Amino acid sequence: MGKSWRSLKIVAGLFSAIALTQFGANTSAIAADTVVVRLGLFTESISVTELQKAVKTGKLPGSLQSLSEEQRRFFLGALGMNIPMNVVTLDRLINTQIGTTILNDFATALARKDKAGVQALRAGLVLGSTAPQGLSILSFIAAYPSKRLEIDLPKAFVVAGNLNTAFWRTQQFMLAIAPQLDPITAHPRTPQISFPFDPSQPGSAQVKILNLSLNDQKRDRKIPVDIYWSTAATPDKPVIVFSHGFGSVRTDLRYLAEHLASHGYVVAALEHPGSNQANANLALQGKIRVMKPQEFLYRPQDISFVLDELAKLNQTANHPLQGKLATTNAMVVGYSFGGGTALALAGAELQLEHLKQRCKKNLTILSLGENMQCIAQELPENSYQLRDPRIKQAIALNPTTSLIFGETGLTKIQVPTIVLAGSADKTTPALTEQIVGFEKIPSPKWLVGIIGGTHLSVKDPSTTLDQSGQPNTPISGGEVVGEKAADIRKYVKALTLAFAFQMTPEAKNYAIFLTPDYAQFASTAAFPFRLITQIPPEAMAVVKEFVEK
């Protein structure tokens, strides 16, 4: 993937250099003809003609010669690079919710005294993209409505180093699978079919919670489990097991567990002791490492152990769950790191040869999710199969898949699978972590795209209270959580319930909710939803461009 990584760096560099620009106060329609480069205490005026010459000769004028060799290459590469994105696509991108967030991120590096930086940046990008050669720094300068343009190079290099390149590619992909995004958002289409009821509404059963503390003596693992159930539970419905995200807790998806239990399902939400919040807190205190590599193996084994223990409870006389637990007909729902855990239980093979090679290289352009997967490079073997045949369906919400499953690991999944992706997810960017992998998963499968959804949007509000006041950067922050994400959680409830019912005699009654029509019907102005079973050709072109060697 060397070529794709280099191209991603160049695209990120171009946007960084354009965005990290401090513009003068003049907002006339006259294009900039002078660039003032600020480097510490020194400033130098450079004409656009000189910059054009630098692109051809490879030589930077004046004090820019003092830049390091790496900085010179970056600057010249950005100057000479064109982005093959037409004006319609670019305009659509930067006027979406996530596009505005990106521009605001970039505008933090602007030192304008007024508040016109984002608007001017948007105008320069759109008009610059109409140039015959496409969008470039030079066409941006020619379109920017100011006589003078001032660049703070140290800021430019800092932000360029922090960019999440996979996140950028994700935005192109989401546009490819939703070309009518703006009209649909403004005027939701009336579905051509009617829906018999609302699966996002709670069931009639009263939910109870049973707290267990299980001890796997073989692995010395104490595993807390919350069992959500009701007297409506019957053995003709699958047991559903939840796997939480890295550094989180078993209440990650409490709202979803309560919803399923109200409809007669038994849900076991367990905590993985080696990668939960308690473990993360100890790591922050410097008492232990962030996570041991064995956790990639222990997490699926935790769920298999819990199913073993539930099978015993099912046979325990006078226990409230006796005879209600279909442990041999189970469904797993995993979020983030837990999404990768769910896929492993569904049959995806851990393939670490490429991961071990990739993780020895520069990791600065990787997302947080990719960096976390690199911990697995310390495992002794190159492949691991952790499938549990009792798992008959899997849902992976914002999962990590880009490195841990190698080239063909996901092709070994043997059960129906749903993968959910958020277009604004910076932690596990949709293209690298979900889209590329989805193409490899055998059918039946469903890909759900949440336009505007972030990494934490699907989580229970009680676990996202710490997001207030968090800085919004290209690699983290900007999370849509709490009440703002209520529409997303409502759809996740409907989707998960409909999928669970596919393992019951009522499957046909709920199949209609696993369709593109229902995703469209459930969409809101803030969050358009997309459901597909195969990536369309125009979107696959984006995928292939990314993964081609």
Closest by CA position to 251, among listed 224, 269, 227? 269
- Say whether pLDDT at 372 is over 50: yes
Q: Which residues of 200-211 are buried (b: 16+ CB within 10 A; e: fewer)?
A: beebebebeeee
Pairing of strands 238-243, 266-270: parallel
Q: Are strands 529-532 and 445-450 parallel, antiparallel or unpaired?
A: antiparallel
Q: Are 48 and 109 in contact (CB under 8 A)?
A: no
In the three-class reduction of DSSP (H, G, I as helix; E, B as strand; rest coil), residue 111 is classed as: coil
Give the contacts of 57 (CB within 8 A, at least 6 positions apart).
none
Judged against a pLDDT cut of 70, whether residue 48 lies above it is answered with yes
Q: With 0-12 CB in 10 A as exposed, 13-18 as middle and 19+ as buried, what is 183?
A: exposed
Q: What is the mean pLDDT of residues 61-65?
A: 72
3-state secondary structure 228-261: EECCCCCCCCEEEEEECCCCECCCCCHHHHHHHH
Helix (H) or strand (E) holding 390: none
Least confident span in 78-82, 305-309, 429-433: 78-82
Q: How many CA atoms lie within 13 A of 246 on its CB side?
A: 23
Over the stretch 81-94, which tens digit does the pLDDT of each residue have? 666 556 665 665 56
In contact, 239 and 327? CB cutoff 8 Å: yes
Residue range 381-396: mean pLDDT, rounded: 98
- Per-residue model confidence as pLDDT tens digits over 474-501: 566 789 999 999 999 999 999 999 999 9
Q: In sequence order, what are the beta bridge partners of 530? A: 449
What does CATH list as the number for 208-547? 3.40.50.1820
293: its two tokens: 């590599």
Residues with Cβ within 8 Å of 530's Cβ and at least 6 positions away in sequence, in order, are: 177, 178, 448, 449, 451, 516, 519
Burial 325-359 (b: 16+ CB within 10 A, else e): bbbebbbbbbbbbbbbbbbbbbbbbbbbeebeebb
The Cα 384–Cα 387 span in angstroms is 9
pLDDT of 57 reads 86
Q: What are phi and psi of 529, to 5 degrees?
A: -110, 145
Q: What is the value of pTM for the model shown?
A: 0.73
For tokens 């880009």, the residue is: 402
Asked if the peptide bond before residue 444 counts as cis, ω within 30 degrees of 0, the response is yes
DSSP readout, 332-364? EEEETHHHHHHHHHTTPPEE-HHHHHHTTS--T
Does 407 or 89 have the greater pLDDT score? 407
241 Cβ contact partners less than 8 Å away, ≥ 6 residues apart: 267, 268, 269, 270, 303, 306, 307, 330, 331, 332, 333
Give the dihedral sign, CA 28/32/36/38. positive
**CA 263 vs CA 83, 259, 329, 461: distances in Å:** 50, 7, 17, 21
The mean of the pLDDT values for the chain is: 81
Most confident of 34-43, 78-87, 133-142, 232-241: 232-241
Tell me the two tokens of residue 522: 């459930």
Pick 394 or 128 by higher pLDDT: 394
Phi, psi of 188 (to 5 degrees): -55, 135
Is the pLDDT at 293 greater than 50? The verdict is yes
Do 109 and 155 touch, CB atoms closer than 8 A? yes
pLDDT digits (tens, 9 = 90+) for 193-212: 789 999 999 999 999 999 99
CATH 3.40.50.1820 residue spans of the chain: 208-547
The H or E element containing residue 163 is none
pLDDT tens-digit readout, 110-164: 544 455 667 777 777 777 777 777 777 777 777 766 666 666 666 655 555 445 6
108: CB partners within 8 A, 6+ apart: none
Distance CA 100, CA 296 (A): 36
Q: Give dist(CA 500, CA 331) in Å, integer.
A: 7
* Cα angle 291, 294, 297; round to 5: 120
Q: What percent of the chain has pLDDT over 90?
A: 51
| Residue type present at position 129 | S
Q: How many CB atoms lie within 10 A of CB 39?
A: 16
Rounded CA-CA distance 97/389 in Å is 42
Task: Identify the band that residue 280 occupies on the pLDDT scale cut at 50, 70 and 90.
Answer: confident
Q: How much is the average pLDDT of 322-338? A: 97
Nearest to 533 by CA among 400, 441, 452: 441
Q: Three-class SS of residue 308?
A: helix
pLDDT at 533 over 70: yes
For helices 97-107 and 87-94, what crossing angle results, to 10°?
Answer: 80
Q: Token match 């696993």: residue?
A: 514
Helix (H, G, I), strand (E, B) or coil at 44: strand
Helix (H) or strand (E) holding 539: helix 537-547
More confident residue, 328 or 189: 328
Beta 22-23 vs 148-152: how paired, if at all?
antiparallel
* pLDDT over 50 at 6, yes or no: no
The percent of residues above 70 in pLDDT, for the chain, comes to: 71
What's the DSSP call for residue 443? S
The encoded tokens of residue 15 equal 């946007």
